[in-house]
Amino acid sequence: MSDSIIVKYKLAHSRISSIRALKSSWSLVRRIIMGDITINQHYVPRFLLDGFRINPSDEELAKVNVLRIRHTKFLFNQSVKEVFSQNYFYDKDNAIESFIESHIETPSSKLIKQFRSGVFDNLNVDCKCLTKFFCCQLMRTQETLNETLRYSEEHSYHIAEDLLEQNGMEYEGDVRDLFSLEFSDREAKRRVISQAVLDSVLISKGMEDLKFHILVNKTSEDFIVSDHPVIKYNWFYKDLAELGVTGLMNKGVQLFLPLSNRIYLCAYDSSVYKYGAKNSNVSEIINKEDAYFLNTLQIRNANDIITVSSSIDEGQFLKLVAQYHNKRINIVKNIGLGSVNNSKPDERTTLGAVYYNQRNLSDKPTFFKVLKKAKIHQTSLVVRNPYLVDGVNMLFAHRDQQVQRKLEP
């Protein structure tokens, strides 16, 4: 083939690629114009925020009051459509956005709306959709992206510290000052959050043994919701100094999610805890300190945004935020596990682990109790159901095999 033919072929190929890209772009624009593409994508769904709106009688123009923590700024009468969201947060083609809406939000929103209206008959009847919603909501926020960076940074710290030690070098400052990881672009963020959403569905299969309980707020203290609203904790193991205490499939796991300023939904390990009266899935909170406890969990968990009531004492609330926001519930840490000599005399492998450690909360709320029969397991970390863990591992293994097959030439 002559050089002129090669040049013509390359030009023709480039022109075809440009035409394809133009057609793809036009297709996307046309879908946006026709309303088939959601640009402003919520990481906390609008139906959940409806429970915190300040104008409950207006279905079309739901509004909330919020605090932007980083700017220490209260924003009142904000449209629910415009908060707790970002343009193209998940994707530009709406594949993940549509998946969340149809498979996660729509089924769970029907139950949550029933709970808000005081109908609790379907709680613990067929609630797999609630388990999926809990898991997905835990892993679909901006704070999830931040945690991914913190996890990677902590891993980098460990490597740097080890390299300094192995080479007999010292760094006078904090090694952490050498690292500040950022996503390379918005598309990288989308890939991380999209994968987290899909992973959450598989993980939820290992949590279908959890029970649900509703807390109805009878105090004068309104519940609040943050931009990372699912609280994960394990009171059963709060004094246990072992790696992996925060695992979702561990014995004693607890999840908390506010559904409105009057209702909280709890998911818990019924072999460890007792919530409410016997044979009851609903209990009332009459102790203001319990409502305060749940609100401080939201502040600890928040990335940047928290809803507030219309009667908020701004000064007092800012003091509360200053007290708790920097005291996160789950903290990323690393630990060295020693080293092993390799076959080559000048090489050595250093072992380490990056893990989440939960903060030891001291003031226990009154709405649950730890069962006496469970305390025999309190000194060592165990999973709730090994069969469910094996099942989830099999799902991930199968998923990885499918991905590998697609990558093979």
Please report which confidence band the pLDDT of residue 59 belongs to, taking 50, 70 and 90 as the band edges. Answer: low
The structure tokens listed for 248 are 């979702």
Q: Band of the pLDDT at 72, cuts 50, 70, 90?
A: very high
User: What percentage of the chain reaches a pLDDT higher than 90?
Assistant: 56
Residue-wise pLDDT tens digits, 211-254: 999 999 999 999 999 999 999 999 999 999 888 888 999 999 99
**Phi, psi (degrees; rounded to nearest 5) at 233:** -150, 165
What's the pTM value of the predicted model, to 2 decimals? Answer: 0.85
Domain chopping of the chain, boundaries: 11-39, 43-407
pLDDT at 9 over 80: no
What is the reported pLDDT for 13?
A: 47
Task: Indicate the residue type of 153.
Answer: E
Instruction: Tell me the per-residue pLDDT of 150-203, one tens digit each, with 9 for 90 and over.
Output: 777 777 777 777 777 777 777 777 766 666 667 777 888 888 899 999 999 999
Buried b (16+ CB within 10 A) or exposed e, 167-185: eeeeeeeeeeeeeeeeeee
Cα separation, 100 vs 108, in Å, equals 11
Q: Mean pLDDT over all residues of the chain?
A: 84
